[in-house]
Structure 1
Amino acid sequence: MDLFIVKSKKVESFYPLHFFRKIADLRTGILTNRKRYSAIYNAQPVFIDEIPEKLTKGLYFFENFINYEKINAGDNTILVNNGEIVGYYIISPIRKDEIQESVTVEGFKLNYGFDIIKFLPHTILKDFKLLDKHRLTDGFDFSGNEKDIYIGENVNIIGKTYLNADSGPIYIDDDVTFKGVNFIEGPCYIGKSSIVDSAKIRPGCSFGKVNRISGEIEHSLFLDYVNKHHDGFIGHSIVGDWVNLGALTTNSDLKNNYHNVKMVINGKTIDTGMLKMGTLIGDFSKTGIGTLINTGTVMGISCNIFGGNVTDKFYPSFSWGNSSTIYSFEKAIDTIRITMGRRDVNLNDKTVEILRNVYKKERG
């Protein structure tokens, strides 16, 4: 049976994480949803922009719906979760409006980028079970079940690293280097070729490839090539590709009045429904030393935030220092090119085009 992943109707609700990737290709645990469904069904998903009026044989899921239950219905069936259509199971060609059967399926739908944080520890745990890899090598002190730890190939330890799998599994990918003294609590994923240097990693963290990780991090998602190689706290946050966090950058993830955190998404103030939520930082953004990030702050792409005061709650893309000053496009591109070159990656024309389009849209 063919497997289809359908573009979400709420892509822009994932601001600022949606510019350079499909939601299906946004890591939401150890895996992206595309890789997750591929592993569950042993098939390569085909991405489509919308559900066709006439459906061919296959299994269809919206890209922002996460499900670990292997679906096997007996007839053409609408898949429903919390009263919303999240997919279709089709055994023979049929028009969409002719399907009579429906079934409730387990899982959860991501409506906003911050919803990833809500489910992150759970998805790391479920992805670990799905991958079903277990391997502990010499050099690590650990507590918990050895079967809840996976250590990849060519992992290097310079110093002392303690793994605590009592609260969840720990997956360390290939070519990771540990320096200094590190304490890591599961559930946790550390991506390929990352460097962990004198870090305190609390439960519920997922780090992408080629990250630099120091200081204290809790319940957060770092995408790829993130540089947090200094002290400071990041909690309940999502940090995009190529973000650099200056020394002692720290975010708040809890309001003093213990009310739900609200975030500004596409000009609207949205209640996250969470008591703890930190910040969303778009790709290529940077913070200066000592930056204090307010609870629920949203930064667009290619922002350069500094000044030492507590930040504003929202920064449009290409902000310089504060939310009203515009970061020169040419200077931003020059800095991005240098940043990527330091990791032997070239800035391609497609990325420049996306950056230019966002600049025109948000900065005129």
Structure 2
Amino acid sequence: MRSIILFDDPVIRLQLLPFTYTRPVAGIRCGIRTIAEKWSEWFQTDISYQTESYLAHRFPIKKSEDNLYINGALCPDASFLAAIEKLAPESVLLSKENEILAVRTSSTEWSPTEKPDKLVSQIYNEPVIIIRQIWDIFLNNGAQIKADFARITSSKKSEKITDPFTHCYNPENIFIEEGAVIKAAILNAENGPIYIGKNASIQEGATIQGPFAIGESSVLAQGAKIRPNTTVGPFCKVGGEVSNCVIFGYSNKGHDGYLGNSVLGEWCNLGANTNNSNLKNDHTAVKIHSYVTGKLESSGLLFCGLFMGDYSKAGISTMFNTGTVVGVSVNVFGAGFQSKHVPSFSWGGNAEGLTEYRFDKAVAVAKDTVNRRGVTFDESDENIMKQVFDQTQNQR
């Protein structure tokens, strides 16, 4: 039986930190689903991961005599799926830029760091969507919502909106899963679809412009203003104004405040009135911390906001500048704009100064955060946090 394995390209993985400190590349959410969930649905089978050794216990690899390795940063479509289904044994599928897209081999030792000269090469000439940089997550989000929406809704029927005070524009482009509750909201799907997940709650006065997706059991607070190309993952609480953002899951932005052109990982929390800037006053390209060079590098974007790794929190009225990167398990707070890069396991803020977040305390808070949602924080999760703590020691 064939094994589908999503591999981490080592260069791309580094560029996608801090999110890939705690998950494989394919665990990134873009659109309604994560990249891994997209591939699993396309193949109608379970997939596995070839990732960092310290992540392997949580994200194991499953090999066989016929292994299909696929670049975990690549979002699937029908054309690419057809190409890899035709891929012969002991072959590699390359992009026009000579980048490895997929490999089919009986070898259980194949690695993306190997030169593919022992494999038969084929070139894929069609365009592909690869999440290479952290800002690619929100840049591609609208298109991926549309693509995921089309596949999810193709063979299913939407639940009906029964609330008489909710108004819909282009209702045929709105899909509602079982158990979702919507009250006195405005849903505008004229410019893109709106997907409302199982048991999600859209509270009174919320206004939504598609493309938009909200995951299972997430809550959109009273009066929330959701602008296009936004995804709220499962089990989140979101309020205030949100524009072109991706929130992976289990994270809270429950109060007023602006979040734009930003990405939040899992188990994050933004305190009341937290805001981020996404456009510089001089309208020049936003610079952002690079984990590759350790310096601020140009993103080439005019609009670029906040990127926050898993388990991180911001105190009330925290202000984030354009292109701010916050690492894993950070507790940031205080007056004024925060630094453009807040290293993992930092405690404090720009005005107060940063100190190291004690590992035992960080784990205790993470456990409590996770357990409060009815999810188990186990030894594997703690080991991953310890690896990230050790890897990022020289950044603090």
- 8 Å contact from structure 1 (residues 134, 149) kept in 2: no
Inter-CA distance 98–244: structure 2 relative to 1 (3 Å threshold): closer
Name which of structure 1's ranges 30-39 and 296-305 shifts more when overlaid on structure 2: 30-39
What residue is the counterpart of 2:309 in the other structure? 282
**Is 1:180 the counterpart of 2:204 in the alignment?**
yes
Q: CA deviation at 1:8?
A: 1.7
Inter-CA distance 82–169: structure 2 relative to 1 (3 Å threshold): farther
Name which of structure 1's ranges 232-241 and 123-132 shifts more when overlaid on structure 2: 123-132
What residue is the counterpart of 1:85 in the other structure? 99
Q: Could you tell me which amino acid in structure 2 is paired with residue 292 of structure 1? A: M
- 8 Å contact from structure 2 (residues 269, 314) kept in 1: yes
Inter-CA distance 91–141: structure 2 relative to 1 (3 Å threshold): same
Q: 1:123-138 counterparts in 2 under 5 A?
A: 123-131=144-152, 132=154, 133-135=156-158, 136-138=160-162
Name which of structure 1's ranges 260-269 and 250-259 shifts more when overlaid on structure 2: 260-269
**Is 1:349 the counterpart of 2:374 in the alignment?**
no
- 8 Å contact from structure 2 (residues 92, 119) kept in 1: no
CA distance in 2, matches of 1:58, 1:134: 36
Q: CA deviation at 1:248?
A: 0.3
What residue is the counterpart of 1:255 in the other structure? 280
CA distance in 2, matches of 1:89, 1:325: 45
Q: 1:150-299 counterparts in 2 under 5 A?
A: 150-157=175-182, 159-198=183-222, 199-266=224-291, 267-299=294-326
CA distance in 2, matches of 1:82, 1:166: 36
Q: CA deviation at 1:85?
A: 2.3
CA distance in 2, matches of 1:282, 1:37: 24
Which sections of structure 1, spanning at least 5 residues, go unmatched? none
Q: CA deviation at 1:82?
A: 4.9
CA distance in 2, matches of 1:321, 1:100: 51
Inter-CA distance 88–14: structure 2 relative to 1 (3 Å threshold): closer
CA distance in 2, matches of 1:318, 1:28: 26
- 8 Å contact from structure 1 (residues 250, 292) kept in 2: yes
What residue is the counterpart of 1:141 in the other structure? 167
Inter-CA distance 121–82: structure 2 relative to 1 (3 Å threshold): farther
CA distance in 2, matches of 1:38, 1:334: 34
Inter-CA distance 106–67: structure 2 relative to 1 (3 Å threshold): farther
CA distance in 2, matches of 1:104, 1:5: 21
Instruction: Give per-residue Cα distances to partners, 1:69-121, cap 9 Å, x unaligned.
Output: 3443566464343513242475999x853415423133222222221112111
Instruction: Give per-residue Cα distances to partners, 1:276-301, cap 9 Å, x unaligned.
Output: 11011011111111111100000011
Which of 71, 82, 85 lines up with 1:62 in the alignment? Answer: 71
Inter-CA distance 119–333: structure 2 relative to 1 (3 Å threshold): same
Name which of structure 1's ranges 176-185 and 199-208 shifts more when overlaid on structure 2: 176-185
CA distance in 1, matches of 2:9, 2:134: 12
Q: Could you tell me which amino acid in structure 2 is paired with residue 65 of structure 1? A: L
Which sections of structure 2, spanning at least 5 residues, go unmatched? 53-63, 108-115
Q: Secondary structure of the residue that 2:228 maps to in structure 1?
A: coil
Q: Secondary structure of the residue that 1:142 maps to in structure 2?
A: strand
Q: Could you tell me which amino acid in structure 1 is paired with residue 355 of structure 2? A: T
With the length of structure 2 as denominator, give the TM-score of the two structures.
0.83
- 8 Å contact from structure 1 (residues 225, 241) kept in 2: yes
Name which of structure 1's ranges 288-297 and 271-280 shifts more when overlaid on structure 2: 271-280
CA distance in 2, matches of 1:324, 1:19: 21
Q: CA deviation at 1:207?
A: 1.0
Q: Could you tell me which amino acid in structure 2 is paired with residue 16 of structure 1? A: P
CA distance in 2, matches of 1:332, 1:59: 38
CA distance in 1, matches of 2:196, 2:348: 36
Name which of structure 1's ranges 29-38 and 105-114 shifts more when overlaid on structure 2: 105-114
Which of 347, 353, 361 lines up with 1:320 in the alignment? Answer: 347
Name which of structure 1's ranges 219-228 and 349-358 shifts more when overlaid on structure 2: 349-358
Q: Which has the higher strand share?
A: 1
What residue is the counterpart of 1:21 in the other structure? 23
- 8 Å contact from structure 1 (residues 8, 62) kept in 2: yes
Name which of structure 1's ranges 228-237 and 9-18 shifts more when overlaid on structure 2: 9-18
CA distance in 1, matches of 2:95, 2:121: 17
Which of 26, 31, 34 lines up with 2:33 in the alignment? Answer: 31
Inter-CA distance 177–75: structure 2 relative to 1 (3 Å threshold): closer
Aligned residues: 358
CA distance in 2, matches of 1:232, 1:72: 44
- 8 Å contact from structure 2 (residues 31, 148) kept in 1: yes
CA distance in 2, matches of 1:92, 1:288: 51
- 8 Å contact from structure 1 (residues 7, 63) kept in 2: yes
- Indicate the RMSD between aligned Cα atoms, in angstroms: 2.5
Inter-CA distance 45–72: structure 2 relative to 1 (3 Å threshold): same
Name which of structure 1's ranges 279-288 and 62-71 shifts more when overlaid on structure 2: 62-71
Name which of structure 1's ranges 4-13 and 117-126 shifts more when overlaid on structure 2: 4-13
Instruction: Give per-residue Cα distances to partners, 1:248-267, cap 9 Å, x unaligned.
Output: 00001111111221211221
Instruction: Give per-residue Cα distances to partners, 1:304-355, cap 9 Å, x unaligned.
Output: 1111211110010111112632222222222222222322223211111222
- Give me the identity figure in percent: 31
Inter-CA distance 60–356: structure 2 relative to 1 (3 Å threshold): closer
With the length of structure 1 as denominator, give the TM-score of the two structures.
0.90
